[in-house]
Structure 1
Amino acid sequence: MAYETPSLAEDRISQVPALQVLQALGYTYLVPERALELRGGRRASVLLDAVLEAQLRKINRIVFKGAEHAFSEANIQAAIQALKSEPYDGLVRTNEKLYDLLCLGKSLQQSIYGDSKSFTLNYIDWERPANNVYHVTEEFAVERTASHETRRPDVVLFVNGIPLAVIECKSPAATAANESPVDQAVSQHLRNQRDDEIPQLFLYGQVLLAVSKNDAKYGTVGTPLKFWSVWKENLDDAALQALVDRSTAFGTEQDAGAPPPHPRRRTIGPPDLPMSVSGIDAQQRASIPETARRTASRSAGSLYNAEGSGESATPRRGSGGSAPGLLTEEPGAYDCTSRMVTAQDRALFALCRPERLLELTRRFVIFDAGEKKITRYQQYFCVRTLMDRIRQGGADGRRQGGVVWHTQGSGKSLTMVFFAKALAMTPGLSDHKIVIVTDRVDLDDQIHKTFLQTGHEVAQARSGWNLGELLASSKAQIITTVIDKFEAAVGRGDVRNESPNIFVLVDESHRSQYGPRHAKMRKALPNACYIGFTGTPLLKREKNTAVRFGGIIQPCYTIQQAVDDKAVVPLLYEGRHVPQDVDAVPLDTWFEKYTEALTPDQRADLKRKCSGTPQVQKSRQTIMRIAWDVGTHYRDTWQGTPFKGQLVTMSKAAALRYKDFLDEFGMVSSEVLISGPDDREGNEDVFDENTEEVVRFWKKMMARFGSEKEYNRQLINAFKNGDAPEIIIVVDKLLTGFDAPRNTVMYLHKPLESHSLLQAIARVNRLCEGKDFGYIIDYYGVLGKLDQALDLYGGLPSALAGFDEEDVQDALTDVSREIAKLPQRHAEVWDVFRGLTNTKDEEAFEVLLADVALRNRFYERLSVFARTLQVALSSVGFIETTPDRAVERYKCDLAFFCKLRTAVRRRYAEVVDFKEYERRVQKLIDAHVGTREVEQLTGLVNIFDADAFAKEVERVHGTASKADTIAHRTKRTLREKWEREDPAFYKKFSRMIEDTIEAFRQHRLTDAEYLAKVTEILGQVRNHTDTDIPGDLTPGTVPAAFYGEIRETLGKYEATGAGEAAKELRETPPPYGDEERPRPPLAVRASLEIDRIVREMRIVNWEDNTDVQNRMRTAIEDLLFELKGEYGVALTFGDIDAAMEKCLEIAKVRYPS
């Protein structure tokens, strides 16, 4: 039996299956050439103009005085122009304007029966998805900004000719240092969105996907790498398998004699699509068949021309006469047998089936303070559950509420925004009102700001009286308020709104959902629907109480889920003890003298208070020692990186003392953020809160900033976005609702427990580029020995005793668990070099890393080891318990491997990647190794700058290293400069370099011979010397580039028995013309004539003008037929086409208009 292994090529394992599944979901496939025709032959354009125009006519009707009327031709064109002509104002801002246009439509004036009115023309039929048309194409070539170069996203999805989704596909075998295949795909998306790339494609984009067979992530326009998300959904495996089986069974028959219309793929007529979808839920079941059947029906007849009529008569050249629509491979090129469902299939079904794509676009995309955001799966399903609940209602007319638990950092506030957006789009709720309630002024300000930034009109209650007015008003649709204002509002006596269309969203509801303040809300809004939102788990007693308010709304989103989804970073915990060296005798003497006027009982009571833990912890000596430890820890671990620290103290006076000591030590910059001296906070006592020191500080801040609001705003903004302060010192502020991604380490010197503890530590769990963990350094002993409590006793520390253990799983991990991975990760780096016999020979390490896959493995493992070592070296426990020799070994090995990485990157001409991880590794080297031991690699020097390149080569030690540096740098230059400008030259010299490298690796060349050979090749590349170019042509010119491609075609005839004739034609041509002069070889003649044709026929923007290109093709085809007869060479149509297309591709690069 013959066995054949599956292909791991990107198109075979990811791109083709994606196209097949998308067709099964109802998308009509367009070959790239057809997609280009539908956008007018212009690669700079991304709209399928003909499709868009036809659909605008189809889905829009004006209903006026009981009759339907079509929009005028002028209005159709005006709507199209509005979509095309929006001035570019940065990608996200322009995308937002076009998003509004797509969702809201275009208001246009039209006169009917002499009566001129405004009517809305829609670009997409949001209410009836099957009324739209859905297309998919691949290798969608889009011209870069101010350039004729193109980028080719793998797959693009169109709705009514508008590109709403872009997909990049990767093989699971794709390798790159520190990047998974899906992350590589994300990187391509991010590159393509840059202003100098193809931002025009993303002006209309809503859903972006990065897929590989085993993995998938999604985002939207402008989403940074760290925030690309996974989508999780319970789907029916059997139904998905049936869908995949249908997709792979899209026929394979085609006229064997007809070449495919695309270099790799062809289309066939569509089959009927009566898909079996049993087992999928009602919504999923409804989403497949109708759209798929309608699309299949359309595919059989038309891809839409400018008039919207079917194209039926004349098939395109090479189409085999088949109707456009369904993708297959060339015969035998792709195995169309059944395959198993993959993670890629699940993502495509969940995010791209037509109804879901429209729903996500319209209801689950928002713009937040200049950033575009798309829902995460837990937000989507939470809103869907809430909407299902409120539609049902109860027997008493009230809608059922409940409690939403989505862990902190998972986007709880945006879930409220998505819910508000869904309510606004729900028929029958036009008079609804949303009241968002918090229990703190700063949280009220934050949520009010969030709603404003997402484009909602929102009123913030200024007082209890104002809240009453807003509740009674029909205009205020969204209100934010602090819960305390309800008491004043209810006190008015006439504040009562009995509408069932009021939705009260209570933020951090564990603090206010169940007490007397909640009763005040109930009194004012008796029939409202109450929905609590909490970012921390519910205590056991709260779970029981929550049932009275509708129960816990599923699905919950736990801490563990958020960590698994990489929606937040894990938290590492380390307890640090500061010894208390107390000299009892002087202290007792001072105490007796100071309390002489007190009774013995009063004296004993005061002594008990002053000797308790809080007072000892506030002592000047304790604060000084902790401040020193905080300063040195931050300086050695985080200073010079983007990451910040937050110091949480017990009192305002303690906060000021910390500031004084940190300033005195001078290691870090810091600021204090507290409330005014009259506010009572947390565990603050009567001894020191209103000291003159606190009052003086407050007056100083008010003089500096002008108001408390500005004081808060400016310090928070500086901490989030500026270089200073590096550490912000707080008491109670910024412990809830504070979202600062750069905040990485929390220094905790304050007793916290339960919800307060979980809320506080979550301040450092936000995602940020280069951030692996958030760190909790506990100086108070809040969690004691965390590992011991969890592992030995199987229970929770007392500070978390009220929670169910599964609810706080993964909330914190003792730092020792991460440090325990260090020996293994150190060994894994060495494992890369296990084949070396002499580990003292640095050259052997570099030669071994010539293999790209091995080099990438080394980079990845080194990065992981370095980051783990950074965690270890920041832990006092590791330093105290690890032998000095072991610590020194880790440091020395890190220094060597970082030096090796720099050397091989230079040697093998790799582009340097300065990601945030690199900055962290460099910080580790600076603090613990020393910068002199590791040289920094800068950008690569251009080989055409002979002097600069010679100096760089001289810096490399060893003859073979110098040769490798020259070889790989030359090879990179060939790829970057000549791969498209002169493909034959590129292939020839790349092959020469590869053969030379291989000869050296096989020990057929000495080090000196290797260096001499690659130096010779370098000179030839610099001078564009090519001995294969005949004397009739000049190396480096366009005709010479054409010659290289045409010569390859003639070479085929030599290999098939026609070689002698071809060789004779090239080398000893017969007499030519009336003057009996030698005629040039066929390849030379053809190259010169094709160059003449292109130069004579090109016009401005000819690269995008299909008419000009087709005229060129006709002229070149006629020329080659003429030469075929004249020279007596049996060129086939396929060879003529291939040579013609290759020459035109070169011309587009070398002869830009």
Structure 2
Amino acid sequence: MQTRDWTEKTEVENRLITQLKGLGYRHVKGSDLNRGTQREVVLEDGLSAALQRLNPWIDDNSLRKVLRQVTHIEAASLMEANLQFHEMLVSYLSVQQDIGRGKKSQTVKLIDFDRPETNEFLVVDQFRVVDEGGTVKPDLTIFVNGLPLVVIECKASTTSTPVREAVKQLRRYQRESERLFHYNQILIATCDQAARAGTVGAQGRHYSEWKDPWPLTLPELGVEPTPQEVLTAGMLRKENLLDLVRNFIVFEAESGRRVKKLARYQQFRAVNKALERIRTARDPRERGGVVWHTQGSGKSLTMVYLSVKLRREPSLHNPSIVVVTDRTDLDDQISRTFLRCGFPNPVQADSVADLRQRLTGATAGVTVMTTVQKFQEREKEALTEAENLFVLVDESHRTQYKELALNMRTALPNACYLGFTGTPIDKEDKSTVRTFGPYLDTYTIQQAVDDGATVPIFYQGRMPQLQVMGNNLDKLFDRYFRDYPEEERERIRKQYAKEEVITAAPQRVREVAMDILEHYEEHIRPNGFKAQIVAISREAAVRYKQTLDELNGPESAVIFSAGHNDDEFLKPYHLSKEEERRVIERFKKPLEEDSLAFLIVCDKLLTGFDAPIEQVMYLDKPIREHNLLQAIARVNRRYEYKHYGLIIDYFGVSGFLHEALSIFREEDVKGAMHSVDSELPRLQTRHRAAMRFFDGVDASNLNACVKVLESEDIRLEFDLAFQRFSRSMDMVMPDPKARPYVEDLKFLGKVRQAAKTRYRDPGLDLSDCGEKVKRLITDHLQTLNIEVLHDPVDILSSKFEERLERAGSDEAKASEMEHAIRHEIRVKMDENPVYYTSLKEKLENLIAARRELRMDDKELVLEMQRVIDGMRGQAREAERKGFTRQQYPFYQLLVKVLGEEGWGEERIREMTGDLTAIIQEHVVPEWTEKVDAQREMRREIKHYLRDADYRDHLDELALKLMDLARIHYRQ
């Protein structure tokens, strides 16, 4: 039987190339490309040909200007350069040229987005780029008209964490060859069995799968297509790639920096389905519909993408767009989203009159953001009869069934209405679908969790004796008023025994507040997250604030709508609009930056409020139907190290949840909330997966356990299993149900830390664990007083010998020495690549000799000791030859390069001194960050090498000398 060649090249690269060729791409090997130098990242011949093909009027002078503008982007950062190029690409360039009517600005297309077939699509494997920062060679690069728009890194699926490794490599490429990524629009990490896409600057967690090949279907791709095949069909089909680049990329300003965002598959699909319906509807009144995407999955950005595409659709003649919400804070939020994404000229209507003025006669190019309440005037006739007017209604389930909505539709009778919601309604008196039209696209709660767009929500009922729902109310009333006479109790019952009064009773609020503080400080605060308290009334919200302050709880703020007749109890807590904005901004910041930990609300911030740092909602209020689903979704936003959201229920809303879910199909709301107990089966499975590594190993023998993790691949597998187990423990602790697994968690943490020390593996620290888990493990290690708490000892330190003595057997000593040497090589390779490359070869030879039984452990220890002694003698060797510590790596590099060509040692020693002197002359403050200073230094180095009659590999040697200079002569 023939064995399959499971390699990165055959299993991943070649399959992807074959699929792309089937999509009409041309394939060229990187080594066969015709380009001037390996520094060139734009294929200028291809770009020049495309410019002449797409702009046949262009003359040679204008062509040169455009080529220079594209290939010489001046920017302060990679993201700024990327933004500049994206604007060139989608908004086009202009040049002054006379084409028969005098010299005027002419628009130049780099790509024809409307006719994909007129562009050249090229896939290149092993496209090597040599830059100041180093040399990179991505597995695949996709060029459109000579522009490198897509970079793909492939890994064999047999690698432990292939996609994670591919993303790490893509991030390294961006550091080492910035210019290649000036032009990049999409980054892809794939191993065929898993594939994810991201953008320049994105962290690994921001890369996402592409699960729908729209407009194709999965069956059209064949039987069980792989994730790579689905992503390729969905993102890299020519029409889709150009559509994504043109209409589905935004540069959003976040916390003072730009973040590049690429649409997810459900956003791309929903927008295109909406456009398809708008183009093909037989009757203008049938153009509308509903986009049902669960909360937290990016509806606001979907509205931005749709607005961009509506504006660019030629058949719509530059339409006007009205974005409607039902609350001022949502209006502000969505307005900011449009502005942050650079959408041109969105205007927020500031009054009823302002809205009427902006819409009266509006026919083209207006973008107005408004609340539905500004349609309060009953219109007798239309403000505009325009059909190229599109009304995008956010959270379309709430206010679109009454008089305000009727006024809006009277004012804009021929508009196309598109509803966006996370919780549509389908009841006799209210129906989102009957109001707006059919579902254009759906994206369910479970799909969002599966895709990592949101985190799962867990539910826990607390203090059932305080719940007031249903028949609990009478019991609670009897408890509070049992000492009163019967007649008095009956009078109080009739007048005051309402849910709101009982729930807001000061003693009850105090008991709940104490429980909230205990839960928050034990479960939530250690991981750095924040919380929201939802009170039944404004009075109760203020009471919670006062009580938390009295109990010395973390900093809190209360936000509610002020009334004209509010009494002295509420007035001191009124916040102005600006004060509210500042409080919300503070709440969104990490705890270490801002200590505001609790937001206490009544109705405000229950819907449309987006604060990813919020992990828990303490719910002490009856909320029903879609409002309940909207509220609990406040905790489902993704945040670093946040693996779940939590609803702690003090009111007993679980019955309301069942009622709320009953209006939907079961598959559409599956996974809305899970009981904490539902995590137990997964905890058991993850516990077994982590412990199986040590089956049959003596758990009391730490060296034996650590040896299990000697292979890097095994360590990666173990680390993944440990992280999953620790996440489940973080979720369940300190529930008594977690107790059976605590000792094993401590054991695994101890082994993991010992393996980090032995193998010098920085990936095995505890920083990626939840704080509760981390504290449990580190406390255990301190209790045991074991050395694995300490960082690895430097191999050149005298303490290293003490470490070896404690290792015990020769096998353990050899392992300790091997990984200490490997760590030294890894850390110092850039400082002296010639010496440490040679050292790496020597080490591999020794390991191979032991593996082939040509030496035993004792001999291996002796040989490794000689290697370590040689490493310690490096400084003495440099001094003996008359070089400083900084100069010696330059000398060794020149010996390696020039010695092989017969240059004498004396001449090489002289050149070492001359070249390091040239470098020192050009060292100025922060020169490694200044392109001009680096260019001048490199020019002088090349000039010296030419004068010395060295020309064969001049550019390559100059770059290697520059690399050493950046390390050894930093200012």
Bucket of the pairwise TM-score, normalised by the shorter protein: 0.7 to 0.9
Q: TM-score, normalised by structure 1?
A: 0.72
Instruction: Letter of the 2:96 partner, please give it.
Output: Q
8 Å contact from structure 1 (residues 735, 763) kept in 2: yes
Aligned counterparts of 2:561 and 2:806: Cα–Cα separation in 1: 58
Q: Does 1:897 align with 2:730?
A: no
- Residue 993 to residue 719, structure 1, CA distance change in 2 (3 Å): farther
Does residue 88 (structure 1) correspond to residue 75 (structure 2)? The answer is: yes
CA offset at residue 563 of structure 1? 1.6
Q: Write the distance in 1 (CA, Å) between the matches of 2:766 and 2:311.
A: 42
For the structure 1 residues 389 and 965, does the alpha-carbon distance in structure 2 shift closer, same or farther, using more than 3 Å as the test?
same
Shift of 1:962: 5.3
Code of the aligned partner of 2:74: P
Matches within 5 A, 1:892-971: 892-912=743-763, 917-920=768-771, 922-925=773-776, 932=783, 943-944=795-796, 946-947=797-798, 961=812, 963-971=814-822
Q: Which residue in 1 is equivalent to 2:236?
A: 352
- With over 3 angstroms needed to count, the CA separation of the structure-2 counterparts of 1:347 and 1:802, relative to structure 1, is closer
**Structure 2 CA distance for aligned equivalents of residues 915 and 102 of structure 1:** 44
Choose from 357, 362, 372 the match for 2:246.
362
Q: Distance in 1 between matches of 2:588 and 2:448?
A: 23
Counterpart selection for 1:694 from 563, 567, 570: 570
Deviations 1:291-313 (A, max 9, x none): xxxxxxxxxxxxxxxxxxxxxxx
Shift, 1:1146, TM fit: 7.8
Map Cα deviations across residues 47-84 of structure 1 (whole Å, 9 max, x no partner): 223332332233213xxxxxxx43341x2222223224
Q: Does 1:208 align with 2:175?
A: no
Structure 1 contact 1045–1142 (Cα < 8 Å) conserved: no
Residue type of the partner of 1:727? Answer: F
Correspondence list, 1:851-862, <5 A = 851-862=711-722
**What letter is aligned with 1:423?**
L
- Name 2:370's counterpart in structure 1: 481
1:412 aligns with 2:391: no
Find out whether 1:659 has 2:657 as its counterpart.
no
- Residue 19 of structure 2 is aligned to residue 24 of structure 1: no
CA deviation map 1:219-262 (0-9, x unaligned): 222333223221122546786469xxxxxxxxxxxxxxxxxxxx
Q: Aligned to 2:120, which of 115, 118, 133?
A: 133
SS at match of 2:570: helix
Change (3 A) 1:464 1:148: closer
Is the CA contact 2:477–2:502 (under 8 Å) kept in the aligned structure 1?
no
- Alignment match of 1:372 (pick from 222, 244, 260): 260
Q: Say which of 340, 360, 376 aligns to 1:453.
A: 340
Q: How does 1:583-732 map to 2 (within 5 A)?
A: 587=481, 604=490, 606-608=492-494, 610-678=496-564, 690-698=566-574, 701=575, 708-723=576-591, 724-732=595-603
Aligned-partner Cα distance in 1 for 2:636–2:868 = 51
Q: What amino acid is aligned across from residue 988 of structure 1 in structure 2?
A: E
2:662 aligned to 801, 814, 817, which one? Answer: 801
- 1:24 Cα deviation (Å)? 3.5
Equivalent residue letter for 2:760: A
In 1, Cα distance between equivalents of 2:632 and 2:434 = 28
8 Å contact from structure 2 (residues 361, 383) kept in 1: no
Q: What number of residue pairs does the alignment pair up?
A: 917
| Structure 1 position 1017 matched with structure 2 position 867 | yes
Q: Does 1:441 align with 2:328?
A: yes
Question: What is the Cα deviation at residue 110 of structure 1?
Answer: 2.0
Relative to structure 1, is the Cα distance of residues 921 and 172 closer, same or farther in structure 2, using a 3 angstrom cutoff? Answer: farther
Give the distance between the partners of 2:347 and 2:695, measured in 1 at CA: 67
Structure-1 residue corresponding to 2:152: 167
SS of 1:772 mapped into structure 2:
coil
1:942 deviates by 5.1
Structure 2 counterparts to residues 797-876 of structure 1, below 5 A: 797-836=658-697, 838-874=698-734
RMSD: 4.1
2:333 maps to amino acid: Q
Counterparts of 1:732-1131 in structure 2 under 5 Å? Answer: 732-784=603-655, 797-836=658-697, 838-874=698-734, 878-879=735-736, 882=737, 887=739, 889-912=740-763, 917-920=768-771, 922-925=773-776, 932=783, 943-944=795-796, 946-947=797-798, 961=812, 963-978=814-829, 980-982=833-835, 985-995=838-848, 998=851, 1004-1005=856-857, 1011-1023=861-873, 1085=902, 1101=938
Deviation readout 1:608-631 (Å, 9 max, x if unpaired): 453344333222222222212221
Q: 1:367 to 1:1147 in 2, by over 3 A?
A: closer
Task: Give the C-alpha shift of residue 459 in structure 1.
Answer: 1.6
Q: In the TM superposition, what is the alpha-carbon distance from 1:810 to its structure 2 partner? A: 0.9
Aligned mates of 1:583, 1:958 — CA distance in 2: 72
Query: How far is 1:938 from its partner?
Result: 7.1
TM-aligned CA deviation for residue 116 of structure 1: 2.1
Aligned residue for 1:511, secondary structure, equals: coil
Aligned to 2:274: 386
Deviations 1:592-615 (A, max 9, x none): 89x7xxxxxxx8464145334433
Is 1:432 the counterpart of 2:291 in the alignment? no
CA distance in 2, matches of 1:833, 1:763: 41
SS of the counterpart of 1:512?
coil
| 1:940 Cα deviation after fit | 5.5
> Compared with structure 1, are the counterparts of its residues 548 and 728 closer, same or farther at alpha carbon in structure 2 (3 Å cutoff)?
closer
Q: Deviations over 1:923-977 (max 9, x none)?
A: 5527986865587867656545x35766877897887655533320212323454
Q: For 1:342, which of 226, 230, 239 is the aligned residue?
A: 226
Counterpart secondary structure, 2:322: strand
Cα distance in 1 for partners of 2:156, 2:65 equals 43
State the match for 2:142 in structure 1. 157
Q: CA deviation at 1:637?
A: 1.9
Confirm or deny that 1:504 pairs with 2:391.
Answer: yes
Q: Which moved more, 1:1018-1027 or 1:220-229?
A: 1018-1027
> What residue is the counterpart of 2:922 in the other structure?
none
Determine the C-alpha separation between the residues in 2 that align with 1:1143 and 1:115.
51
Change (3 A) 1:500 1:159: same
Deviations 1:396-453 (A, max 9, x none): x545212221111111111111111111111142352111111111111111111122
Shift of 1:469: 0.3
Q: CA offsets, 1:967-1014, max 9 Å, x none?
A: 2021232345459525762343222452477599x99335xx665543
Letter in 1 for 2:559: L
- With normalisation by structure 2, the TM-score equals 0.85
Provide Cα deviations, 1:84-119, integer angstroms capped at 9, x if missing partner: 443323333332222111112222222355822111
What residue in structure 2 maps to residue 122 of structure 1? 109
Percent identity between the two aligned chains: 33
- Cα distance in 1 for residues equivalent to 2:428 and 2:793: 67
Conserved 8 A contact 2:138-2:151:
yes
Tell me the alpha carbon deviations over residues 626-685 of structure 1, each in whole angstroms, 9 at most, x when there is no partner. 212221222122224332221111122222222223233334332222222449xxxxxx
For the 8 Å contact 1:470–1:476, the answer to whether it is kept is no
**Which amino acid is 2:259 matched to?**
E
1:677–1:695 Cα contact (<8 Å) kept:
no
Q: Mind listing any 5+ residue stretches in structure 1 that lack a counterpart?
A: 62-68, 243-339, 596-602, 680-689, 702-707, 787-795, 1047-1081, 1117-1139
Q: Distance in 2 between matches of 1:454 and 1:473?
A: 28
Note if contact 2:94-2:108 (Cα within 8 Å) is conserved in structure 1: yes
* Alignment-mate amino acid for residue 357 of structure 2: E
Q: 1:591 to 1:800 in 2, by over 3 A?
A: farther
What letter corresponds to residue 180 of structure 2 in structure 1? L
Q: In the alignment, is the contact (CA less than 8 A) between 1:537 and 1:808 conserved in 2? A: no
The aligned counterpart of 2:177 is 198
Secondary structure of 1:650 counterpart: coil
- Per-residue CA deviations over 1:1061-1096 (Å, capped at 9, x if unaligned) read xxxxxxxxxxxxxxxxxxxxx979589799799999
Rg larger for: 1
- Does the Cα contact within 8 Å between 1:1020 and 1:1026 map onto a contact in 2? no
Partner of 1:50: 45
